[in-house]
Amino acid sequence: MKGAWTLSMQNESAARGACILAFDTANEVVAVGVGMYTEAPGGDPENPTFGMVPLACREIPAHRASNTILLNEVDATLAEAGVPKGDVAAVVCGRGPGSFTGVRICMATAKGAASALEVPLYGVSTLDAVAWRAWAEGVRGRVLVAADAMRKEVYPALFEISDSEISRLTTDAVVKAAIACEWVADQEAKLPERAGDLTILGDALVKYREIFEPLGAIADESLWAVSGAGLLLAAQAGLAAGDIDLSADAWHGESNAAAARANAGAAPVALRPGDPSVLLPVYTRLSDAEENERIRLAKEASEKTDALSPRDLSTGVQHANVVSAAIENRAAVVAEIADVSANISYRPLDAAHAAGVAAMERECMGSDAWSPSLVADELPRRDRTWWAAYDGQKLVGYCGGWIVAGQVQILKIATDPSYRRRGIAAELISLVASDARNLGATEMTLEVRESNVGAQAFYEKLGLAIIGVRPHYYSDRENAVIMTGPLPASGVSAHDESAAPVVAGMELQVSAVSGAPREAAATAVELDSSKRPLILAIESSCDETAASIIDGQGGLHSDVVASQIDFHSRFGGVVPEIASRKHIEAICGVCDECLATAAASLGVGSLRWRDLDAVAVTYAPGLVGALVVGLAFAKGAAWGADKPLIAVNHLEGHLYANRIAEPGMQPPMVVSLVSGGHTMLVHVRDWGDYETMGSTIDDAVGEAFDKVAKALGLGYPGGPIISKLAAKGNPKAIAFPRALMHSGDLRFSLSGLKTAVTTYIQKEQQAGRELNMPDIAASFEAAVVDVQVAKAKAALIETGAKEFCLGGGVAANPMLRGAYEKMCRKLGVRLTMPPLSACGDQAAMIAEVARDRFAQGRFADLSLDVKAHAPLDEPY
């Protein structure tokens, strides 16, 4: 499609001739459009009309393969339009709603591409783009767009389309397909009566046409999906509304991490329009785990045992409530393991603490206080989010918000007077904002007493501004100041000079491993050849978002990790949907910090994507929703910077983690990979040549630690807690089984051991005996270690290898490391173990693999996709 639409618009700040690249993969179509913002031909020379001139558009059926075809189709569309990628002035992507995976593929690719191209990134609603496609094809009047939301649900939205504009009549929502007609009737009852029939379109009609047919006229099937033209028109509407900025004031590659360093100790760095780190998908609900948690907590009575204890933001340890002698014992043990009494912990507010909230309300709010019943009535509402802060079991703060029409209205926020000035209110606001962002909100608003200048200053630091006054708002007739602004970014309050950088609510673990900084005047182009190639590697296979930069000599110049453990701990394990959401939120900030840290290590003023020699990424194995964010971002960045892409197997990364400790080590060797998802012995004949000699037939070692910790009421993750307990116990106290110890092969089994521990706990409790938790932990750990060591010894003897190595999160276990040291001394075998920081998931190990693959010229193309499973033995 070429030519100009007749929709008139004017945006004086937009650069004339600016080319926009737009794409969407929210559902079963890959849509791409390339357009130019310029003067529409055929207009009045005295009063020209400016608009988006489409240069090339295409729609391709995805068949669930959008990650493999998106960038190739982008290249083809740019070529058809005659626009080099370097001439793209902005990237626009569909934000959904739609398939969770499809939306994230689109957004992660767009974030990577915009970051590397150093152009602003903006998002448009996929539903709006469908409506604009209909506008371009002449549809007018009241329109219903219904997108497939899976799970027998749909995303419906009503629009009014005229010759000159489109008006959105409803906000984003998700409803069961079976009651979609009722939803439409309810919404239309609130709207002016329409003049004609309702026109219905959207890909939900593929499954649910019969449900929607009674509502009106079904549009031609060619209009059901998003299109490149629709995306460009939605972008044009964004330009007209001022939501899209193509001026010099927009983001153009500025490093927020570098700005934060220069701004240390001052106010938070203001994010500029178009910053790729800001954009997030449209969500219409929290994850299933979070929604189910809120339903359960809202129903809990105060006398009922609380099955989820507050999460500790420093340790990630959960703590059981004191409801019986046995649980008192557990609480005492946990308090002894990790001194948590001095730490403030946070979790969603539950009904059991409604009375505590009301009591604090009376203390802090006076006559405007809410009653316990009013607080309890709020908790089960799906458009509310409430968080609380605790010191041990004591409620010390709370905050609640109401999400409506793209905005979260802070209903209540208070902190115990004796706990103020400790950052509790800022953390509560951040948690409410995070939930609101996941429910589609982009703004925050609240009322504060006109006399409370301290609170007003606090909210101003969060980015809110005074927009008006409500006269006599409070019960004592004091005025309320209305404050509104964009949702505060996660961690916005942590800006003091000593604080670690915070991204998406996660405190970054940042290190520059190698080399003293050179003189800062040097540029990346001037780096000597020994520093080449410079490779940035990304890891996102589970619940860590990580990035690292390595040079040609193996020098690690940055290693940045954002761990999500605090977001998963209260659920007792990793929630895949939460993991994927946090990756898309954190990926830009993590890579930004990685580049800034490496620049400082290398002694250059800045390091940009174009200064790199390659981009590497974990493509398998792992959680698909997590992997896809890292891979799509890496592909977008490699494409935007015109750099080669390197695919890395996550398990191979754990093998290479040993090179962080011993850079010169060489195969052959035997490696024990032990983590939450894997337990195996690998014969490394050479780098890239592996044989899996044996693996678990059921549970992995890390998984067994987590399950035993859960059985003991000690929370997640179980490994560190069990390990600390075991150090105080007797490993011979309980004779737990050593499964497959003498099987004659190198297979492992942990399921029977886990069951034996659980059965022992149940029998002790039934007999009324107090659990000796240190002895249970020590005996369990000894049973695990004995089998691991015996199998490793057999593998070394079988292969004749003279070197033994470890890999994976469980490789940090002190008892296991000590046992392997003894074994290797007796066998006369060299032992290499990764540093503790390299046992868990991080990107330094991915960078190590990438360095070898770069030297071998083993690059991937842009059709690379993720894999949940990928055996080490298979070359790639």
3 state SS of 243: coil
Asked whether residue 67 is marked as a ligand-binding residue, the answer is: no
CA–CA distance from 472 to each of 368, 450, 456, 463 (Å)? 13, 10, 18, 25
- Specify burial of residue 265 (Cβ count, 10 A radius: 0-12, 13-18, 19+): exposed
Residue 689: name the closest of 867, 802, 855, 852 by CA.
Answer: 852
For residue 805, the one-letter residue type is C
CA distance linking residue 121 with residue 636, whole number of Å: 12
CA distance linking residue 24 with residue 97, whole number of Å: 11
3 state SS of 182: helix
Asked whether residue 706 is marked as a ligand-binding residue, the answer is: yes
The 10 Å Cβ neighbour count of residue 154 is 29
Q: Given the structure tokens 């490391």, which residue do they identify?
A: 817
Residue 37: name the closest of 11, 60, 61 by CA.
Answer: 11
> Which residues 6+ apart lie within 8 Å of 200 measured at CB?
143, 144, 146, 212, 213, 215, 216, 217, 218, 219
Residue 548: name the closest of 501, 511, 507, 575 by CA.
Answer: 511
Asked whether residue 675 is marked as a ligand-binding residue, the answer is: yes
Asked whether residue 673 is marked as a ligand-binding residue, the answer is: yes
- β-strand pairing of 689-695 with 645-649: unpaired
3 state SS of 826: helix
Is the peptide bond prior to 871 cis by the omega test (within 30 degrees of 0)?
no
First to last CA, the chain: 40
CA–CA distance from 531 to each of 21, 196, 534 (Å)? 34, 68, 7
Asked whether residue 128 is marked as a ligand-binding residue, the answer is: no
Asked whether residue 510 is marked as a ligand-binding residue, the answer is: no
Asked whether residue 650 is marked as a ligand-binding residue, the answer is: yes
Q: Angle 29-35-39 (CA atoms, 0-180°, nearest 5)?
A: 150
Tell me if 815 sits within 8 A of 782, measured CB to CB. Answer: yes
Beta strands in 665-724 (DSSP E): 669-674, 679-686, 689-695
CA–CA distance from 117 to each of 33, 38, 639 (Å)? 17, 22, 9
Question: Which of the 8 DSSP states describes residue 836?
Answer: G
- What residues pair up with 218 in beta bridges, in sequence order? 200
Please give the structure tokens belonging to residue 227.
């299109």
Asked whether residue 603 is marked as a ligand-binding residue, the answer is: no
Task: Provide the residue count of the chain.
Answer: 876
Based on DSSP, count helices (H) and strands (E) in the chain, helices before strands.
24, 32
Q: Given the structure tokens 């959680």, which residue do they identify?
A: 623
Q: Which residues are annotated as part of the binding site for Fe cation? A: 650, 654, 841
Q: Which residues are annotated as part of the binding site? A: 650, 654, 673-677, 706, 719, 813, 841
Q: Which residues are annotated as part of the binding site for substrate? A: 673-677, 706, 719, 813
